[in-house]
Structure 1
Amino acid sequence: MYLKSRLLMIRTRNLTRVGLLAGLILLLSMAFINPRTALAATTGTAPVDHSIFDQLLKKYVDERGQVNYKGFRKDQAEFKKYLELLSRNPPAASWSKNEQMAYWINAYNAFTIQLILDHYPVQSIKDIGSKIQIPFVTTPWAIKFIPVGKEKISLDNIEHGTLRKKFDDPRIHFALVCASKSCPRLRNEAYVAEKLDSQLNDQGRDFLNNPAKNAISPKQASLSKYFDWYKGDWKDKGKSIEEWVNRYSNTKINSSTKISFMDYNWNLNEQ
């Protein structure tokens, strides 16, 4: 009886040592795993790779931001791969702020292109949907055609319900492109977390110094309707429209500058 008890104690002690050793090996191996990979393993989803969209943008968008929609149609199968990638991988809480923002900005721009392709040819995005358009109800931006996770959302949901509400960064208005000539330039590269800050600032400089979109002189500034439509965003946190203009415009304005707003050109941003 004593011998059996002794053997059982030895066996239990050995099993405990094996368990501790296995745990130590696991911890050591995780130290050599890419942190993002390890994080993805615990959260179930890794940040989306935007390289497919990046390649398509380089191929079908020129330096002025004009889009070759016919080219996108020819490459529809490849484009669909990217859209499906977005749909299957909504942002997780473990993603960084920039990873989430890049996802949503790219999603907005990519699904806007797809909306145009679904109704192509059109002269304007506003030709899509109801003849009488009620903001947030019957406009093209209110159509819930974007599958993300287990639900379908609209472009309005992305812009107003997520980007503006969650991230509170007015620079998104320089990046979201509604397929119209008065929109900011569609970059011929995808937004990525590592470069997001510089990309948004570059968009601001490009937009404010384009006289077709913002005609600025020290005495009079004819600004994009964006500065009228989203005036609350520009004035948030004690800032002003003048401060945002001066942050990016080569020509500076002040409180005595007469400000007006340009008519918006909704014609398609097509090459």
Structure 2
Amino acid sequence: METMAMWRAALTGLLMMIVPLSAGHARDDLHGGWDRLLQTYVTRGADGIDRVDYARWRSNADDREALETYISTLEEIPASSLPDAQRFAFWANLYNAVTVRLILDEAPSRSIRQIRPSLFSIGPWGMELTRNEGRALTLDNIEHDIMRQEFEAALVHYAVNCASIGCPNIGLRAWQAETLQADLEAAARAYVNHPRGVTVTDGGLVISRIYKWYEEDFGGNDEGVIAHLLRFAAPDLAARIRANPRIRSHAYDWSLNRP
């Protein structure tokens, strides 16, 4: 046990050297492998939606191994020891990497919800898919028990990707501590200003079901949700929301985010 503790302490110290906190330093090398994989297999379409080429990735043994190595590396780092921004980037990247690995392994034809570990499951979010600091973790654990509790919950929803068209984009680059806040706000703006986030109709607003599922994170009621949308809406959209500030319905597309 003492040897293991010493090894973990040394690893944490190494991480602190790799991931400097002061502005102006290079990007976090810890997430470099994931960053390369995203740049290789994720494309942003003319419709503004990121799609992952799972088929091409699945056929590349080296890059499947690179993904496995990246996840294994994160699993050995004591996340609780990291400063806030680094810890957020750590969990968001791990969540997204584990989700991609699951799609590569299970190869669902239409939707992530086809992956059902039990008869009553609605998807894979309760499966133990990774671990950290001696604890087996599900995707639900990472998102709900860790990230939404420790960070600004509303912004967490723009960082984690459920391999679905209706979800905020997975992103073309890894999350990084030094640019985290600006990148999160950019992701929120991109989603809110996309029809997946908000569509204004004569009868009111059709908004993502994310804002219904997690209404408590967005103000707790319709007025709070609209205030959140206005925080990130472009001027034209904001004007149209203010002119018709009634939530008519919610929508979400569970189709796999593939080309």
| Bin for the TM-score computed over the shorter chain | 0.7 to 0.9
Equivalent residue letter for 1:99: Q
Q: Does 1:262 align with 2:250?
A: yes
In structure 2, runs of 5+ residues without a counterpart are 1-8, 20-29
- Written as runs of structure 1 = structure 2, the 5 A alignment for 1:29-108 is 44=13, 46=15, 49-63=30-44, 64-73=49-58, 74=60, 75-93=63-81, 95-108=82-95
Structure 1 residue 147, shift from structure 2 partner: 2.6
The structure in which a higher percent of residues are strand is 2
- Written as runs of structure 1 = structure 2, the 5 A alignment for 1:196-211 is 196-211=180-195
Partners in 2 of 1:92 and 1:263 — Cα distance? Answer: 36
* Residue aligned with 1:242, SS: helix
Which of 227, 233, 238 matches 1:249? 233
TM-score normalised according to structure 2 size:
0.80
Q: Which moved more, 1:43-52 or 1:110-119?
A: 43-52
- Kept in 2, the 8 Å contact 1:60–1:68? The answer is yes
Equivalent residue letter for 2:133: G
RMSD: 2.3
Equivalent residue letter for 2:182: S
Identity %: 31
Match of 1:118 in 2: 105
Structure 1 residue 232, shift from structure 2 partner: 0.4
- Kept in 1, the 8 Å contact 2:207–2:247? The answer is yes
Structure 1 residue 133, shift from structure 2 partner: 3.4
Q: 1:124-173 CA deviation, whole Å, 9 max, x = no partner?
A: 11100246435xxx630000121323232100000000000122331111
Match of 1:29 in 2: none
- Kept in 2, the 8 Å contact 1:242–1:255? The answer is no
Partners in 1 of 2:97 and 2:203 — Cα distance? Answer: 38
Match of 2:217 in 1: 233
In structure 1, runs of 5+ residues without a counterpart are 1-39
1:244 to 1:126, Cα distance in 2 relative to 1, 3 A: same
Bigger radius of gyration among the two: 1
- Kept in 2, the 8 Å contact 1:218–1:254? The answer is no
Paired residues, what number?
226
Equivalent residue letter for 2:43: D
Equivalent residue letter for 2:247: I
Deviation >6 Å, runs of 4+: none
